[in-house]
Amino acid sequence: MPITIAPVTPGFVAEVGDIDLARPLSAADFDQLRQAFTSYSVLVFANQDLTPEQHLAFSARWGAVEKDRTLDPKATPPRLSGEFADISNLSAEGRIWGETSRQRMYKAGNRLWHTDSSFKRLPSLCSLLYASTVVPIGGHTEFADQRAAYDALPQSMKARLQGLVAEHWIVHSRRRSGFHEFNEDEMKRLPPVPQVVVRTLPESGRKSLFVASHAGRIFGMPDAEGRALIDELIAHVTQRQFVYTHRWRPHELVMWDNRCTMHRGTDYDDLRWVREMRRVTVSDVANTCEQEGVTCAA
């Protein structure tokens, strides 16, 4: 039986059915998924029963899986192994985290609109997030469509943005969410990187904005002006008409295109309910400046 693609919105989100991600996919099925991923930026797979290995195997079909950690494991011991980003509210011992724990303070940054790994020189193609335990109220994930938002910009703004390069740095987003405790090792591993403000997606030729909370400055612009432009673009992209709110069901996998979306987690009572999710992040093929043929200012 062929897989089923059911649009949730005309060009941003689709549900995928008649598919079992625990098994290896045929080339034809994967090809169909690839096409869906080009048309839609967010794909929802309901009722999947995945081991970590199966989650990883499906993710690896999309490209190289990120293995490097953002936080120093000595300062913040991880609960999950190498390839998995922990999107839960659990400590390394598997209990609900402490109110002032480093994990909790750091992950508060996920409440800001962001794109995974845009602060790495080689940014991310896509993320694949699998939910084991969901919370009864709140704890949604919202996605914003940076392609549609680009299309809707006035011509004058499109012209202004052409060729601009922003500085992405994890420190920019964490400062905004109130986390100031990066240690020396983390600062060394996570230097600021350049990314273009407007990128072109090779498969579709569509243009997309590529800014979110990791972006803090724009090269060649006074800091305050760059900051104001970034804030203006984030406000534009996150208007209701570009946003989809995903309400999680258990055993669901959602994958999204980090090249042309922003996302954020919504609030929930994280000291009361367990929310257990794990994410695999797949790398893109090159830095965005290289992809666009723009000379990087840094």
Q: Which stretch binds Mn ion (CB under 5 A): 29-37, 114-122, 238-246, 251-259?
A: 114-122
Q: How far is the CB of 124 from ligand OGA (least distance, A)?
A: 10
Residues near ligand OGA, by CB under 6 A: 87, 110, 116, 127, 129, 141, 263, 265, 279
What is d(CA 182, CA 186) in angstroms, rounded to the nearest whole number? 6
Residue 83 or 116: which CB sits closer to Mn ion? 116
Amino acid identity at 281: T
What is d(CA 128, CA 113) in angstroms, rounded to the nearest whole number? 17
Q: How far is the CB of 264 from ligand OGA (least distance, A)?
A: 6
Residue 150 or 256: which CB sits closer to Mn ion? 256
Q: Residue 287 binds what, of ligand OGA, Mn ion, none (CB under 5 to 8 Å, by partner type)?
A: none
Q: How far is the CB of 134 from Mn ion (least distance, A)?
A: 17
| Position 116 contacts Mn ion (CB under 5 A) | yes
Q: How far is the CB of 94 from ligand OGA (least distance, A)?
A: 18
Q: Residue 265 binds what, of Mn ion, ligand OGA, none (CB under 5 to 8 Å, by partner type)?
A: ligand OGA
Nearest by Cα to 123 from 258, 214, 277, 253: 258
- As to burial, measured by CB atoms within 10 angstroms (0-12 exposed, 13-18 middle, 19+ buried), residue 79 is middle
Residue 236 or 263: which CB sits closer to ligand OGA? 263
Q: Provide the 10 A C-beta neighbour count for residue 141.
A: 21
Contact residues for 44 (Cβ-Cβ < 8 A; gap 6+): 8, 13, 14, 15, 16, 246, 252, 253, 254
* Backbone phi and psi for residue 273, each to the nearest 5 degrees, phi listed first: -100, 150
Residue 80 or 296: which CB sits closer to ligand OGA? 80
Residue 164 or 214: which CB sits closer to Mn ion? 214
* Backbone phi and psi for residue 104, each to the nearest 5 degrees, phi listed first: -65, -40
- Tell me which residues touch Mn ion (CB under 5 A): 116
